[in-house]
Amino acid sequence: EYGADTARLFMMQAAQPERDFDWSEQGVQSAYAFLTRLQELVESYATGEIETTAEAGPIAEYVESESEAAIVVATEEYDELVFNTAVRGAQSLAGTLRQYRDYAAVHKETFEGELSTAIRLLAPVAPHICEELWESLGRDGFVLDAEWPETDADRETVEKRQRLVENTREDVRQIVDVAGIDDPERIDIVVTPEWKYYALNIAIDSDAPNVIGELMGHEEIKRHGQDAAAYGQDLQDNREALQRTLDPETELGALRSAAWLIEREFDAEVRVLAAEEADESVAAKAEPSRPAIDIEE
């Protein structure tokens, strides 16, 4: 009824090879629906139905970052025979491409390149349809013989970037829900001040019994007075759980490239600001990997 590729995709995304799992008609239908959507996406692009532009922008940067994540995860997990995680990365990339198509004119080079990536990442699991889609893209030869996608990105960084974006989106949802905001007009997302990132790394590296004293030995931190003391106390209280984060510049870039997702969800203007660009009272609430959020109705 559904074909070999659907069966293979369902089984590979349901469990690791050494584990039992329950057959699910709903799961099979979900796998079939995904392959159908992917086929529609590729064919609509190949036939010129998708509006394209020659200019790249922040959305194209976000799509490229999601492609890097999918490549890193799929490559490592295929090597370890953890097929379910490998497949999820490729499916996530395909979902991002659909969202891109539905939101704006797509950057032609980026869109086609990442479609090619998604097809190659899925080919080990769904080889028959991926060969057809490869041909639809106008690629020479067989996808079986194509070079495997590569990236210089490391898994830790791409996963931190993804968590930052998803956690920020969830924080916006919670604020909108708790505050009962029906129609937000503008959403400001403010990245942590540089000194807090600096303080976090000092706290992680420190062997001092009380990290607050060590932090106050750094003039760049000390000059922030009570804000520095309060943040130092937070670091001290949560010392065992502290983890390194993306630096402010990378955090700012990741959130700016993903702002369209929040604009799309809430139909509101979204501004991603460095701490020095924002109102001081808002910026003071930002921490590494946890930007401050200010919503205007």
**Bridge partners of residue 271, in order along the sequence:** 188
Q: Find the distance separating the first CA and the last CA of the chain, reported in whole Å.
A: 51
pLDDT in tens, the chain (297 residues): 899 999 999 988 876 667 777 888 898 999 999 999 999 999 999 999 999 999 999 999 999 999 999 999 999 999 998 889 999 999 999 999 999 999 999 999 999 999 999 999 999 999 999 999 999 999 999 999 999 999 999 999 999 999 999 999 999 999 999 999 999 999 999 999 999 999 999 999 998 888 998 999 999 999 999 999 999 999 999 999 999 999 999 999 999 999 999 999 999 999 999 999 999 999 999 999 999 999 999
Distance (Å, whole) CA 138 – CA 158: 30
Q: What is the pTM of this model?
A: 0.90
| Contact of 191 with 255, CB cutoff 8 Å | yes
Structure-token pair, residue 70 = 């999918």
* The amino acid at 123: A
Which candidate, 177, 167, 127, 157, places its Cα nearest to that of 249?
A: 157
Distance (Å, whole) CA 21 – CA 181: 43
Full DSSP string of 104-125: SPEEHHHHHHHHHHHHHHHTTT
